[in-house]
């Protein structure tokens, strides 16, 4: 991925106020085709508000959002999903007692053809299972059986199911909120590998994370959010972790960075 890749998803001047508190203060955002863009920021920097606006969960007071050059007006997360934007939230939203295949199609179940499907809303479990196996194999997620209950999986495997579900239905963008939080080293690496595969399949990924080593490991560019707006976008290959943290906390100004560090 090089920086000349076209911008596929952008926000301009997003503002969101909650009473006296301004969570977003004219924030800009740009996601390029085929990249993993990490979004980082201190607590209160507005990164959660930014992501909620981009995923349709929050309606900004001002500003605009564009996907592939078309202006979007989200009324809720369903609108974002209709436009092919999928979000994996920190709490996963998986149904533990249901199978992996059922979780993959949760809320988008396939119905049987003909009268059984249209009249009786009968589910096509065989087709969903085959499709689940195909999707998981496609992303090289090594889980023995798609019929096992999600509650029998490890934390990392559950996270992989949630990521695979998003990747299966996203047509444009996958947003991941702290996907490696609370995971051990091995499981965290498993999820990072899956994120790379999602990107390599052609889906750009927005990764929100507090884990700086993970950010530096997988991100093509890093969006630094500070005081409700974008402070800088940096190239992780041309900037140190300590300089990145210094900009995030305000200890250093983006103007002090060498040209190569800007992305």
Record the tokens describing residue 168, joined without a space.
């299966």
Under a CB-based contact definition with an 8 Å cutoff, are residues 95 and 164 in contact?
Answer: no
Under a CB-based contact definition with an 8 Å cutoff, are residues 16 and 24 in contact?
Answer: yes
> Residues 213-227: pLDDT tens digits?
999 999 999 999 999
What are the Cα distances from residue 186, in Å, to 48, 142, 211, 215? 27, 14, 15, 16
pLDDT at 116: 66
> Which residue spans within 79-186 are E strands per DSSP?
85-88, 173-177
The DSSP symbol for 71 reads E
pLDDT at 1: 45
- Torsion sign across C-alpha atoms 68, 224, 252, 25: positive
Under a CB-based contact definition with an 8 Å cutoff, are residues 110 and 127 in contact?
Answer: yes
Predicted confidence pLDDT, tens digits, the chain (263 residues): 444 799 999 999 999 999 999 999 999 999 999 999 999 999 999 999 999 999 999 999 999 999 999 999 999 999 999 999 999 887 666 788 888 888 888 877 877 787 766 676 678 888 888 888 888 887 777 777 888 898 998 888 888 888 888 888 889 999 999 988 888 888 888 889 999 999 998 999 999 999 999 999 999 999 999 999 999 999 999 999 999 999 999 999 999 999 999 99
Strands 70-72 and 229-234: unpaired
What are the Cα distances from residue 97, in Å, to 149, 152, 209, 235, 253? 6, 9, 28, 42, 49
Record the tokens describing residue 193, joined without a space.
């590998």
What domains are there in the chain, each with its CATH number? 7-92+169-261 (3.40.50.300)
pTM, entire model: 0.89
pLDDT at 221: 98
DSSP-assigned letters across all residues of 227-238: TTEEEEEE-TTS
């Amino acid at each position: 991925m090089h920086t000349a890749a076209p911008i596929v998803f952008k926000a301009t001047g997003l503002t969101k106020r909650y009473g006296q508190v301004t969570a977003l203060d004219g924030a800009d955002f740009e996601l390029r085709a085929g990249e993993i863009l990490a979004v980082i920021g201190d607590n209160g920097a507005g990164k959660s508000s930014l992501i909620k606006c981009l995923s349709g969960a929050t309606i900004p007071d001002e500003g605009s959002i564009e996907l592939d050059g078309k202006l979007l007006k989200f009324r809720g997360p369903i609108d974002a999903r209709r436009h092919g934007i999928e979000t994996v939230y920190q709490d996963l939203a998986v149904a533990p007692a249901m199978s992996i295949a059922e979780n993959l199609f949760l809320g988008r179940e396939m119905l049987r053809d003909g009268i059984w499907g249209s009249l009786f809303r009968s589910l096509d479990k065989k087709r969903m299972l085959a499709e689940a196996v195909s999707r998981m194999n496609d992303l090289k997620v090594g889980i023995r059986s798609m019929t096992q209950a999600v509650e029998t999986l490890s934390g990392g495997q559950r996270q992989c199911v949630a990521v695979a579900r998003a990747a299966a239905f996203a047509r444009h963008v996958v947003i991941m909120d702290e996907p490696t939080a609370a995971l051990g080293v091995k499981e965290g690496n498993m999820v990072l590998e899956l994120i790379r595969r999602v990107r390599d399949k052609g889906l750009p990924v927005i990764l929100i994370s507090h884990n700086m080593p993970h950010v530096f490991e997988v991100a093509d560019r890093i969006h630094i959010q500070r005081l409700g707006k974008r402070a800088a976008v940096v190239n992780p290959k041309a900037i140190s972790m300590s300089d990145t943290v210094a900009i995030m906390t305000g200890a250093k100004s983006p103007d002090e960075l060498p040209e190569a560090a800007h992305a």
